[in-house]
Amino acid sequence: MSNFLNFPIIPVGASTFAEKVDPLFYLLTLMSTVLTVGIFMGIVIMAAVFRKKPGVDRPSQALHAPILELTWTIIPTIVGLGLFVWGAVLFDDYIKVPEGALQIDVIAKQWMWKVQHENGMREVNDLHIPVGRPVKLTMMSQDVLHNYAVPAMRVKQDVIPGRYTSLWFEPTKTGAFPMFCSEYCGTEHSLMGGTVYVMEPQAYNEWLAGGPKVSPQEAGRFLFEEKLGCVTCHTGVSGARGPDLKEVFGHAVKLADGSSVTADEEYLRESIMEPAKRIVATFTPLMPNFANQLNDEDVANLIAYIKSLTEEEVVEVETGAPAP
Ligand code: HEC
Ligand SMILES: [Cu+2]
């Protein structure tokens, strides 16, 4: 039996859903098989037994058989409604997220899954989660329809551009389980998958604390381009309201008072926290003071980002490798 269940088209069951959904699924499969085989065998046997042959006495046919008709109406009705109620109860369970679920954000795009954990830890395609605790994925697509499907967990859910959808499950087994995009989404759709790693809670916490987090450059880029809008003045185009920051770090900067300074970390920090103190030559001092909007970590991240602009090669910071 267990050999049969290991047959690849039947994935292992690794969530609380598997225990509940599988019996219904197997019952439906069994019923469909029995009915299909029974009906076809009946057709073949009756066609042979009651074929037209000479000398057979055929009495006039009975037109009504109330008992038989009631039987074949009432029993399937009860069976059908029973299956409906069973399925509805399971579905109710499937859409109601239990309290205390671990919250994880998932962004889908052609053709990868970007995952972000509550503490900022990010990964691509893979998903690390602890065993024995409900997990809720809140998902959105950046482009087209995708679908997050984990057969071992018996869950799948469409991921839609411009709308959040969610999915929850509670893993019951540790191990590595494949996940797939199961909505055709373009050329590399078939490669848009990854692995769900279910870990012991202790191992999960270590993973969460120790693995790659958002790099300082990436955090700085977010502040610069999205949160604080530095990019509206520092567009990098000549004639912009603020200087191009690409060639600043490590270079000499000419100041309005005629002196010149080499831009090091300290200079960058001062330019952000007290922009009026030293003004860059040819620029109007209209940069706002950001001192009370930024903590030390933000400033460090912004500096890391500005430094990265100067480096020959800007390293693309993506944690985790896409699945082969
Ligand atoms: C309203 C436009 C504006 C915004 C928004 C702005 N800046 Fe500036 N920034 C300037 C101008 C103008 C200068 C040059 C004059 C000066 O030195 O104050 C400057 C200078 C600088 C310099 C020194 C550049 C050099 O060549 O020496 C740094 C570094 C800098 N800004 C970083 C930032 C960061 C980081 C942010 C976002 C937190 C930001 N700026 C937001 C206008 C802006
Ligand atoms: Cu997809």
59-93 confidence digits (pLDDT tens): 777 788 899 999 999 999 999 999 999 999 999 99
Strand partners, 157: 148
250 CB less than 6 Å from ligand 1?
A: no
Q: What is the pTM of this model?
A: 0.54
* Ligand 2 centroid distance, CA of 128 (Å): 20
* Ligand 2 centroid distance, CA of 73 (Å): 44
Any idea which residue has 């329809």 for tokens?
A: 145
Residue 113, preceding bond cis, omega within 30 degrees?
no
271 CB less than 6 Å from ligand 1?
A: yes
Does the pLDDT of residue 242 top 50, yes or no?
A: yes
Quick one: pLDDT at residue 85?
A: 97
In the chain, alpha helices (H): 2-5, 16-49, 66-95, 201-210, 216-221, 265-273, 296-310
Kindly state the average pLDDT of the residues 190-215.
83
* For ligand 1, atom 32: residue with the closest CA: 272
Strand partners, 280: 255
Buried (b) or exposed (e) across 165-181, using 16+ Cβ within 10 A? bebbbbbbebeebebbb
Kindly state the average pLDDT of the residues 252-276.
90
* Ligand 1 centroid distance, CA of 234 (Å): 7
Give the ligand at the shortest distance from the Cα of 301: 1
Give the ligand at the shortest distance from the Cα of 260: 1
With CA atoms as reference, report the closest residue to 120 among 196, 208, 220.
208
285 CB less than 6 Å from ligand 1?
A: yes
Give the pairing type, strands 135-141 and 102-109. parallel
Give the ligand at the shortest distance from the Cα of 307: 1
Strand partners, 223: none
Does the pLDDT of residue 155 top 50, yes or no?
A: yes
Q: What is the mean pLDDT of the chain?
A: 86
Q: What domains are there in the chain, each with its CATH number?
A: 10-41+67-213 (2.60.40.420), 216-310 (1.10.760.10)
Kindly state the average pLDDT of the residues 216-235.
86
Which atom of ligand 1 has the smallest separation from the CA of 306?
Answer: 29
